[in-house]
Amino acid sequence: MIDSSFKDAGPEDAGLKRERLRINEIFHSLQGEADAVGYPTVFVRLTGCPLRCQYCDTEYAFHAGDWYDLDAIVEQVGSFGARHVCVTGGEPLAQPNCLKLLTRLCDAGFEVSLETSGALDIAGVDARVSRVVDVKTPGSREAARNRIENFSLLTQHDQLKFVICSREDYDWSKAYLREHGLSARCEVLFSPSYTQVPPAALAEWILADRLQVRFQLQLHKILWGDVPGK
Ligand code: SF4
């Protein structure tokens, strides 16, 4: 149930919002990225993000949204009949109640994934959640926000994602993988920045270097283009 009365709530209402989250959209689509790619999935997009990546395709989620009870979110997710749920943003971890939502969704029996920028602490995320953690490259203009402390928390259940904006970004990412020993921690995804790097060029660079990373394209953009709610 949407409660718009909380839309403009100030800090004095914080206590009332303990079991609520500000949600930009909830929709049903195919998972376009990472390990669960291709599965029918319900996406819960949380409002807000403290980063400003130059290639961001969800700027519409920076501010717009309504407050939902956690119960209402879980109920709405269930109404689509999908096994997979992806909690995304924005930066979902920017709202502390996101941790409670993730646990509630796991308890309800869903296969839950979390898409996060890599700038915030992932330590409190329920261990049943598959975490897809970005490593921001220089081309994103947010590389200074990478939270290196997160790397030691990653398991084989998680994935690291690099969005590559140029050949320089690719070379930087290769060096970063080595420097932090990331390939041994979890699966690593390299994705071309939409409209900035031709997908075939990135594929060729990976093959030429015999780099042990997983190339991926955003399936939803191939199917539907760059549109919200897909
Ligand atoms: S972290 Fe994600 S939502 Fe935030 S600005 Fe970067 S791409 Fe956009």
pLDDT in tens, 194-203: 889 999 999 9
Mean pLDDT of all residues in 215-221:
90
Look at residue 18 and tell me whether its pLDDT is greater than 80: no
Name the E strands within the chain. 2-3, 20-30, 40-46, 66-69, 84-88, 111-116, 130-135, 159-164, 187-192, 214-215
Q: Which residues pair with 185 in a beta bridge?
A: none
pTM of the model: 0.90
Residue 58's CB is within 10 A of a number of other CB atoms, namely: 16
Q: What is the DSSP letter of 18?
A: T
Dihedral sign from CA coordinates of 183, 185, 187, 188: negative
How far, in Å, is the centroid of ligand 1 from the Cα of 42?
Answer: 19
3-state secondary structure of 133: strand
Q: Which residues line ligand 1 (CB under 6 A)?
A: 49, 51-53, 56, 58, 89-91, 117
Counting from 1 in the atom list of ligand 1, the atom nearest the Cα of 62 is 3
pLDDT level of residue 138 (50, 70, 90 thresholds): very high
Counting from 1 in the atom list of ligand 1, the atom nearest the Cα of 52 is 5
> How distant, in Å, are the alpha carbons of 81, 144, 159, 209 from that of 117?
28, 12, 12, 27
**Residue having the nearest C-alpha atom to atom 6 of ligand 1:** 53
Best mutation site among 117, 137, 140, 163 for ligand 1, i.e. most ligand atoms within 8 A of its Cβ?
117
In this predicted structure, what is the pLDDT of residue 17? 54
For the stretch 67-121, pLDDT in tens is 999 999 999 999 999 999 999 999 999 999 999 999 999 999 999 999 999 999 9
pLDDT level of residue 178 (50, 70, 90 thresholds): very high
For the stretch 32-76, pLDDT in tens is 988 899 999 999 999 999 999 999 989 999 999 999 999 999 999
